[in-house]
Structure 1
Amino acid sequence: MATGKFFREVELPQQKAQEDGTLFPAVLYPNHSADSTATELSDFNDAIRANKPWLDSLLQKSGAILFRGFPVASPSDFNDVVQAFGYPEAFYVGGRASRIKVVGRVYTANEAPPEKGIPFHHEMAYVRDFPTKLFFFCDEEPGAGGETPIVLSHIIYEKMKQRHPEFVAQLEEHGLTYTKVSNEEDDPSSFTGNGWKSTYNTDDKNVAEERAAKLGAKLEWIGNSAKITTGPLPAVRVEKQSGRKTWFNSLAVSYSGPASQEFCCGDTVVELGNGEPVPDHAMEDYLKIMEEECVDIPWKKGDVLLVNNLMVLHGRRPILKPPRRILASLCK
């Protein structure tokens, strides 16, 4: 289907149709014929600015947009694309994933070992000031594996409410509390391995406490390690424009019970805001539901994926044939 003069929506076999027929995610290609002049990066960026209201509407409707076939060849190109959208930058303070700055507003997505998967989560749902939009860019596509699965959060909420209404009622009433013991230095073996110095961009304990407090967290010192407690925070939020309730939390990343032994990183504890444990049987169903409802589209070099962080959970599949290089940028 042609969209304006520049973009066209296409269908991929991995997409899923929502109840109203909207495809998740939306997939956009350049709208030019085979014999036309190849699209240049400046054309793409100009088209983003010119079609920004339509792109925002499509993002709100679908939850995520995959841009494929556009001339985004380098981290610098990706930074230009992010800038073209005009969203304010969300600075990565309080985040637990180990990331390295590449250029401008562009960082590596996660420095965890490639053979490890990363569970579904909303980005930085464990702090008060979280990003609302995420960009991902495929700088180097893997030979196999390494997909970034995505799933609509309101569907997870609805299905969990059907199967575990009492648990969902507790989540809505009490929220969740997250506790993590963070060492001074980063732990490269964990997908939540940032040390407290990297988490708060300082080596001063007093400054770390101040920055944590602004994000709704409390630090307790155990020698040179920090016990970081955040919450209770809402585990279910209302997406304002649609009015839908979304499963906005980091349960799968933080939960370390028997249903999630594959992902347990041993440094985070999550519990209901009233201090009660998260029920294992509900978590087992939750992890299954996300796998049933998610979309996995294999990365191609140059892909740009824009995600509404309020509507969509994302993760990472183990990288079966590295190398793979996915870059990220977070926006308010």
Structure 2
Amino acid sequence: MPANLSFFAETKIPHQRNYGGVVFPAVLSPEAVQSRNPSVLTAAVKEQKPSLDSLLHTHGAILFRGFDSLATASDFNDVVEAFGYEELPYVGGAAPRTNVVGRVFTANESPPDQKIPFHHEMAQVPEYPSKLFFFCEVEPADGGETPIVLSHVVYERMKEKYPDFVEKLEKHGLIYTRVLGEDDDPSSPIGRGWKSTFLTKDKSVAEERAAKLNMKLEWAADGVKTIMGPIPAVKYDETRQRKIWFNSMVAAYTGWEDARNDPKKAVTLGDGNPLPGDIIYDCLKILEEESVAIPWRKGDVLLIDNLAVLHSRRPFALLAGY
């Protein structure tokens, strides 16, 4: 850990993994009880941001644990603002969400019994966030972990086991197809309607915003089919000098299912050929094997590098009264 991160103490927890001497994720806690105050944390983030950025670059993800005085979405927003990262409007994403305060949105609003498969946030569109923050305001009664996995590890394992398939992915990329209703469907994990997807009620504005994403739209009476791609499925991370598994292939193939969408048709190779189901499900197995799933505690903040790390969501049960 950088020596000048004096406000924080590096913490070890049972769920961490170790890759070549680098723990995943890094876990930071306050070094003193008085440091748990939200305003003290935000001041420390502003002061020590270069060191935190370096730590994030090395480890891919940082869990801030023990800041249990972070009680509200507003407290969390202050922490996010303290990092000063550029905000990316949520245009083109699939999940139904609601803005809570400032830069804070609800997590995927699909029913809690539904699993959200592994993905990089908005990997199916050309413009995606570089960083993601997660916050635990209320601990789930059961489940609800956010499993995370290092993207380059997945790439290396897939390349070793399925070199021909990975070569096709690198050559052709992927095409993603999703049918959107007019309004949000909270019963679906991909239930974001076209109005909230493109942040407009005007079809012509939606067309303009889709065009900026290089997305094709095919309008129907009750919604619109969006076609994105071919878009790369593997990227080269220049800052870490390694290839990464950067796509929503497994998420689309195994999870983009609702009344409008058939997941087997949601993603194909960039040349139009279907994906091999056996390899997709084996990739899912690799993702699960390499993932870290840390149970949430009240006040937890998780920061991940969206280029380095995929994430998912396990089903959960809410506490009584929520």
Asked if 1:12 corresponds to 2:13, the answer is yes
**Residue of structure 1 equivalent to 2:22:** 22
- 2:284 equivalent among 282, 287, 292: 287
The alignment partner of 1:126 has SS state of: coil
- 1:310 counterpart = 2:311: no
Specify which of 209, 214, 219 is matched with residue 216 of structure 1.
Answer: 214
Q: TM-score, normalised by structure 2?
A: 0.94
Is the CA contact (8 Å cut-off) linking 1:149 and 1:316 kept in structure 2?
A: yes
Aligned residues: 316
Q: What's the offset of the Cα at 1:322?
A: 4.3
**Equivalent residue number for residue 192 of structure 1:** 190
Deviations 1:179-227 (A, max 9, x none): 1111111121111110111100111111111101111211111123111
Aligned with residue 44 of structure 2, among 36, 42, 47: 47
What is the rounded CA distance, in whole Å, between the counterparts of 2:311 and 2:182 in structure 1?
28
In structure 2, list runs of 5 or more residues that go unmatched. Answer: none
Shift of 1:3: 6.0
Q: Indicate conservation of the 8 Å contact 1:219/1:227, yes or no.
A: yes
Q: Which amino acid aligns with 2:23?
A: L
Equivalent residue number for residue 31 of structure 2 = 31
CA distance in structure 2 between the aligned counterparts of 1:37 and 1:229, rounded to whole angstroms? 52
CA-CA distance at 1:38 after TM superposition: 5.1
Deviation, structure 1 residue 39: 3.2
Q: Is the 8 A contact 2:139 2:297 kept in 1?
A: yes
Q: 1:322 to 1:235 in 2, by over 3 A?
A: farther
SS in 1 for 2:36: coil
Q: Is the 8 A contact 1:149 1:294 kept in 2?
A: yes
Equivalent in the alignment of 1:225: 223
Alignment of 1:143-222 (within 5 A): 143-222=141-220
1:5 Cα offset (Å):
2.3
Distance across 1 between alignment mates of 2:166 and 2:139? 38
Amino acid at match of 2:171: E
1:116 match: 114
Contact 2:4 2:48 in 1 (8 A): no
Q: For the residues of structure 1 that align with 2:72 and 2:321, how far apart are their CA atoms?
A: 14
Query: Would you say the 8 A contact 2:130–2:306 is kept in 1?
Result: yes
Question: What CA deviation, in whole Å up to 9, does each residue of 1:231-267 have, x standing for no partner?
Answer: 1001001111111111100012211xxxx4x774461
- TM-score, length basis structure 1: 0.92
Matched position secondary structure for 1:221: strand
1:155 Cα deviation after fit: 0.5
Partner of 2:252: 254
1:330 equivalent in structure 2: none
1:272 aligned residue (244, 251, 269)? 269
Q: Match of 1:65? A: 62
Tell me, in whole angstroms, the C-alpha distance in 1 between the residues paired with 2:23 and 2:321: 27
For the pair 1:244 / 2:242, whether they are aligned, the reply is: yes
C-alpha distance in structure 2 between counterparts of 1:95 and 1:197, whole Å: 12
Where do 1:71-110 residues align within 5 Å?
71-110=69-108
Is the 2:136–2:297 contact (alpha carbons within 8 Å) kept by the matching residues of 1? yes
Show CA shifts across 1:131-156 (max 9, x none): 01000000111011000000001000
| Structure 1 unaligned spans of 5+ | 326-332
Letter in 2 for 1:12: I
* CA–CA separation in structure 2 for the residues paired with 1:3 and 1:286: 39
Q: Give deviations 1:59-80, integer Å, cap 9, x for gaps.
A: 0000000001123111001000
What is the RMSD of the two structures over their aligned residues, measured on CA atoms? 1.7
* Maintained 8 Å contact 2:4/2:51: no
Runs (4 or more) in structure 1 with deviation over 6 Å come to: none
Structure 2 CA distance for partners of 1:300 and 1:3, relative to 1, 3 Å = farther
